[in-house]
Chain A
């Protein structure tokens, strides 16, 4: 237990605390987990946006079984992350898992892959699970945006001879801009805080290769019981999140001028 008052400088020990921050900047594990969190967030959010747009465009049309399909879109969102991670851990199992089984049956691989024991494969596995779970959330938010675009805009564009790609780039994306940005903010902030997923799927392994920053904070605070250092890391995470939100918000308001 280190000096816990670093987050409460008014208690009269303002300068002892900075040692924890200096320690963080020299800490390789901190930088690694921060880098992992940043790259994981970027990759998953980009994929989620693309897939989410596609799902939203499907759900926006009218057809039979619409309620059922909507439930199918919602299901991954409603599953507890930790339970979901555990389920996928079983599916990614090297010897008896469904994923290796299917890949072997279809002839894509000759040998079972050690999904969760290899750092690159574990990274891919984590991203797949995250994308599977949250693309639907993205889709639901984007759907609300899509439904606010008047249909006659597309009608007019079609008469003027615009193709589907042109309509997407010229009409849909510009009008969805703010909704897309809001959903990006929400998703990026959530992805930056991912803890349950790695905790249930890989426990940060192999080694500490898939350890996210929130996992490192958890390990520092509740496993090593270094409350002071854990809090310092928490504050650093908060600052990173704040910076990201500020960039997004600036982006959002720049477009409104």
Chain B
């Protein structure tokens, strides 16, 4: 009898613990679920009130109408911009991170201060200056122009992450390599870079997600329809007065697939990257 009561108490305790977690998972994912069922509903069910929460006879016509728009091009634009941004951020991030961590020179504190200060500029106040500067350079409507902008806004975080990481790699390793006759560059490529692999992955994910999601600059710096990135392109699915919600839902779902994959594959790394940047920065 007593054990039965204890078991019941145990179940109660457990459910008290798991219920909020269940609620959390439901609340986090229900917009995704809602998008999914919206994108699969036949038009007759789409405008039912109250809305149906289960789709019994899914249709795929909305996915077809997504690709009647230049959706593939949006996808390619986003991928190209994100990749350029990634390369730019990592190259410059490592250059500055290495200098800050390994070299001794005057004005190092000043550089770190400038890095922090730039991360505090509100993007909205930077749109106009960047627009004018890129226009004068002929880089409006170009992948490079937008990638440079994305990289510029991602760099402060990358520099913090990478210089913190490089500081954790013992300098004795460098010295050992020098003693063996390796040059500075050789040491960097064959000693430091291999050791910093995991953190590079973290930094890359954060840069990628930021560039993939960025709206304001992608919207203002790419006025040509064929050069739109996904977030801007998805916004353009709406007509002047009508919202083809099923098609929009299908487009949104397709556009966030890479993000969902990244989250499930790398959740641990993303968490460590975010906390690193925030707690140390």
Contact = CB atoms under 8 A, between A and B. Distances in A.
Contacts of A102: 50
Contacts of B249: 87, 90
B262 A78 contact: yes
B112 interface: no
A186 B28 contact: no
A70 to B, nearest CB: 5
B124 A96 contact: no
A189 B31 contact: no
A140 B124 contact: no
Which secondary structure characterizes the binding site on chain A?
helix
A136 B209 CA distance: 16
A43 interface: no
Interface string B15-36: 0011011001101110110110
Given A96-B48, A193-B122, A234-B122, A145 B35 contact: no
Contact of B27 (A87, A132, A183): A132
A173 interface: no
Interface residues of B, number: 60
B281 to A, nearest CB: 8
B267 A67 contact: yes
B21 A58 contact: yes
Given A79-B256, A196-B216, A230-B128, A84 B31 contact: yes
B220 interface: yes
Interface string B217-256: 0001000000000111011000000010100110010011
B95 interface: no
Which secondary structure characterizes the binding site on chain B?
helix
B51 A221 contact: no
Nearest to A96: B47
A249 to B, nearest CB: 11
B73 to A, nearest CB: 18
B146 to A, nearest CB: 15
Contact of B34 (A67, A87, A218, A238): A87
Contacts of B46: 96
B35 A231 contact: no
B248 A217 contact: no
Given A63-B17, A83-B234, A195-B216, A101 B50 contact: yes
B183 interface: no
B212 A237 contact: no
A27 B204 CA distance: 43
18 contacts: A73-B24, A73-B28, A74-B270, A80-B214, A80-B256, A83-B231, A86-B234, A87-B249, A96-B48, A98-B34, A104-B49, A132-B27, A141-B278, A141-B279, A145-B279, A231-B125, A241-B120, A242-B120
Interface of A: 54-55, 58, 61, 63, 65, 67-76, 78-84, 86-88, 90-91, 93, 95-98, 100-102, 104-105, 112, 132, 136-137, 140-141, 143-145, 179, 182-183, 186, 189, 192-193, 195-196, 199-200, 214, 217-218, 221-222, 227, 230-231, 234-235, 237-238, 241-242, 245
